[in-house]
Structure 1
Amino acid sequence: MIGKKRRISRILKNGRSVILPMDHGVTKPEKGIEKIDRVLEDVQGYIDAIIVHKGVVKRSGVIAEMEAGLIIHLSGSTVWAEDPNDKRIVTSVERAISLGADGVSVHVNIGSATEAIQLQKLGEISEICDWYGVPLLAMMYPRGKIEVNTESVKHAARIGYELGADILKVPFTENFEDVVGFVDVPVVIAGGSKENEYDLFKKVEDAMARGASGVAVGRNLFNSPSPSKIARMLHMIVHSNMRAKDVVEYEGNLVVG
């Protein structure tokens, strides 16, 4: 699997990654993604990979020249659907390859009414990815009536692992080392809803200490007045093992100086 190994190295640098997901526009318009290229130009020195839909890649004037790995998202649903948790496949691995993707991603909502079809598609896509040597990132989320806790996230991660994912993206939870220890592929935490910057950095610090391979932060980055600042600080925590309080202090000194 030389092709997959080479492509994963564009997403995970020395086994770690700061990923910027910007696939939110299908679900609903989010502040900060109106001009995706502007954000990418601002942060490209600090992120290791991006996640976007195929239409963004087609129209971007920046992505073709970026050093960051390109992950094309294959799933979609909108907030207007009868069941927003019903993620459907909206493009193919082959199309992603034609657009220059280093990997693809699929979103699966465990516990949703359409869990079965989502799992079926995940399994099928993982086999196609293996055939072409393309890394698969599976976004595995407990949804519906399932409480998000260590056991449910651990189970969701294990499902993605069992069905062939190469990288897992899951919610952060307490005892996160139990989640990481239940699979032997890289696990990155989801950034989640917009939150206080320090709380975000502390969560990432904790996740890295508990064995995570990185973070996929979208809204907390592109919603920020200064995306480059957030990206730079996340990079220091993920790649330099810095603590949240030290990163904040360093950034403060940098601004003052």
Structure 2
Amino acid sequence: MNEYELLNTESGNAVVVALDHGIGMGSVEQFEDPRATLESVIEGGPDGVLVGPYFAERFADVLERADVDILVTADFVSPSSQPGEDVGPWVQQRAFDVERLLACDPVGVKSVLAFGRRDRQAFERNVEYITTLAEELRGTGVPNIVETVMWGKEIPDRFETDHEYVANACRIGWELGADILKAPYTGDSERFEQIVSNAPVPVMILGGPASGSVEMILEDVSGAMQAGARGLIVGRSIWQAENPADVIRSLNEIVHQGRSVETAWSD
């Protein structure tokens, strides 16, 4: 049996769909109707969904009916102070206290550790709430999931999945108290395996903006699983697809059964 309920599946891995984008981004394309998007995701049979605590409360009927694991987001991360815009400067802070988060009976609590910030004080505040949350969750049985990302302007877009950056970010993440890491896949299974094997905590991969290609996210997941990742926590690449349920079913086959992309997606 795995240490955490999230990974207590037959395979020891998990397919989690991230649906927490509305907290900082507003009414995202193809997520304008939260209930409809949630139901289209649930239809595919994921192991869990990542949502905000108030989302979990408002749509408790759907979540309870689906009997799906709930992960909750602890912070507010927005690319702008203008709602729905991506014009900067972006804003990040802790949004919910631990009592509010644990009231959702989650199998994980996720927060973002963002590198590359030009504002040193903002980065310091980020580190402070990450470590505070780690201590607050200690002994609760609920894992502290830290999403390590290179979003700051000091890091060019092309380096967001750079092997050295990701390796260093993951190391810092678990050293600051992450029980599970949510990390970018670097695109190279052999090199990513080094990151996974060097981490004393499970590594799951994130998705980022939808690429428009289902095969691309499936290939990334397949490569990450071959490297020893324990699954994924992905949002837009799933629910912005033409048929989210089909994508989730294919991901389940790759993550839980080890099937190839060609076999999983052709079915």
Q: State the TM-score, normalized to the length of structure 1.
A: 0.88
* 1:161 Cα offset (Å): 0.7
Unmatched tracts of structure 1, length 5 or more: 252-257
Unmatched tracts of structure 2, length 5 or more: 82-87
Q: What is the alpha-carbon distance in structure 2 between the residues aligned to residue 191 and residue 230 of structure 1?
A: 13
* 1:103 Cα offset (Å): 1.9
1:242 equivalenced with 2:259 (yes/no):
yes
Q: What is the alpha-carbon distance in structure 2 between the residues aligned to residue 156 and residue 130 of structure 1?
A: 22
Match of 2:165 among 152, 155, 166: 152
Q: What is the alpha-carbon distance in structure 2 between the residues aligned to residue 47 and residue 248 of structure 1?
A: 16
Task: State the superposition RMSD in angstroms.
Answer: 1.9
Match of 1:201 among 218, 230, 233: 218
In structure 1, what is the equivalent of residue 199 of structure 2? 183
Instruction: State the one-letter code of the partner of 1:78.
Output: S
Q: What is the alpha-carbon distance in structure 2 between the residues aligned to residue 68 and residue 50 of structure 1?
A: 7
1:107 equivalenced with 2:112 (yes/no):
yes
Secondary structure of the residue aligned to 1:20 is strand
Q: State the TM-score, normalized to the length of structure 2.
A: 0.85
In structure 2, what is the equivalent of residue 255 of structure 1? none
In structure 1, what is the equivalent of residue 19 of structure 2? 22
In structure 1, what is the equivalent of residue 130 of structure 2? 122
In structure 2, what is the equivalent of residue 170 of structure 1? 183
Match of 2:5 among 2, 9, 16: 9
CA separation of 1:107 and 1:54: change in aligned 2, threshold 3 A: same
Given that 2:5 and 2:107 are in contact with CA atoms closer than 8 Å, whether structure 1 keeps it comes out as no
Instruction: State the one-letter code of the partner of 1:103.
Output: G
In structure 2, what is the equivalent of residue 138 of structure 1? 146
* 1:26 Cα offset (Å): 2.3
CA separation of 1:32 and 1:11: change in aligned 2, threshold 3 A: farther
In structure 1, what is the equivalent of residue 30 of structure 2? 32
In structure 1, what is the equivalent of residue 84 of structure 2? none
Given that 2:50 and 2:70 are in contact with CA atoms closer than 8 Å, whether structure 1 keeps it comes out as yes
In structure 2, what is the equivalent of residue 49 of structure 1? 48
Secondary structure of the residue aligned to 2:30 is coil
Give runs of aligned pairs for residues 71-90 of structure 1, distance below 5 A: 71-81=71-81, 82-84=88-90, 86-90=91-95
In structure 2, what is the equivalent of residue 224 of structure 1? 241
Secondary structure of the residue aligned to 1:51 is strand
Q: What is the alpha-carbon distance in structure 1 between the residues aligned to residue 265 and residue 142 of structure 2?
A: 37
Q: What is the alpha-carbon distance in structure 2 between the residues aligned to residue 19 and residue 12 of structure 1?
A: 13
Q: What is the alpha-carbon distance in structure 1 between the residues aligned to residue 206 and residue 108 of structure 2?
A: 17
CA separation of 1:171 and 1:123: change in aligned 2, threshold 3 A: same
